[in-house]
């Protein structure tokens, strides 16, 4: 049985970390490819949320890179997870048209890991440019800030 509270906490972590990177990108004036990387992570979260809500989008959605987008995604995910008492398998089509299926818990785990992967990519780009003032968004840092 899935641990829905832990999965919801993962979504809240993802939103927190995305928000820190959004602030950093805005304040630093970072351009491409940094902006597109964070947009991609938010687009992917959007498409996966749509899938568990029963809609298979045929292309990656265009999202606004904003705190409002991040908050709406977080709230949408947390609300969707609150409706589950089991771990249903979701049937969907990829943007290529390929039919697939995955459990909700596997999808949520993927969404959180996907965000972490791309924030690591952003960190690597900063390091390659010898920039050191990027946000630290490790999961444990989030825990220190949010869990007494």
Look up the pTM and report it: 0.93
* Residues whose CB falls within 8 Å of the CB of residue 64, separated by 6 or more in sequence, listed in order: none
- Residue-level pLDDT at 1: 60
At 133, list the tokens.
């003032």
Domains identified in the chain and CATH numbers: 4-146 (1.20.120.450)
DSSP line for the chain: ---HHHHHHHHHHHHHHHHHHHHHHHHHT--TTHHHHHHHHHHHHHHHHHHHTT---SSPPP---SHHHHHHHHHHHHHHHHT-SS-PEEEEE-TTS-EEEEEHHHHHHHHHHHHHHHHHHHHHHHHHTT--------HHHHHHHH--
- Residue-level pLDDT at 126: 95
At 118, list the tokens.
């791309």
Half-sphere exposure of 137 (CA within 13 A, CB side): 27
The whole-angstrom separation of Cα 140 and Cα 122 is 19
- Residue-level pLDDT at 56: 85
User: Using CB atoms within 10 A of its CB, is residue 68 exposed (0-12), middle (13-18) or buried (19+)?
Assistant: exposed
pLDDT per residue over 91-105, tens digit each?
999 999 999 999 999
Residues of the chain with pLDDT below 70 are: 1, 147-148
């Amino acid at each position: 049985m899935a641990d829905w509270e832990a999965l919801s906490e993962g979504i809240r972590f993802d939103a927190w970390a995305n928000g820190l990177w959004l602030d950093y990108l805005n304040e630093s004036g970072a351009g491409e490819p940094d902006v597109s990387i964070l947009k991609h992570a938010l687009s992917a979260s959007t498409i996966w949320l749509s899938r568990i809500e029963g809609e298979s989008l045929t292309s990656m959605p265009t999202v606004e890179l904003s705190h409002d987008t991040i908050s709406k995604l977080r709230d949408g995910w947390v609300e969707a997870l609150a409706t589950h008492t089991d771990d249903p398998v979701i049937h969907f089509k990829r943007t290529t048209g390929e039919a697939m299926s995955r459990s909700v818990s596997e999808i949520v785990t993927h969404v959180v890991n996907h965000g972490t992967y791309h924030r690591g990519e952003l960190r690597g780009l900063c390091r390659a440019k010898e920039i050191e003032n990027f946000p630290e968004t490790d999961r444990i840092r989030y825990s220190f800030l949010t869990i007494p």
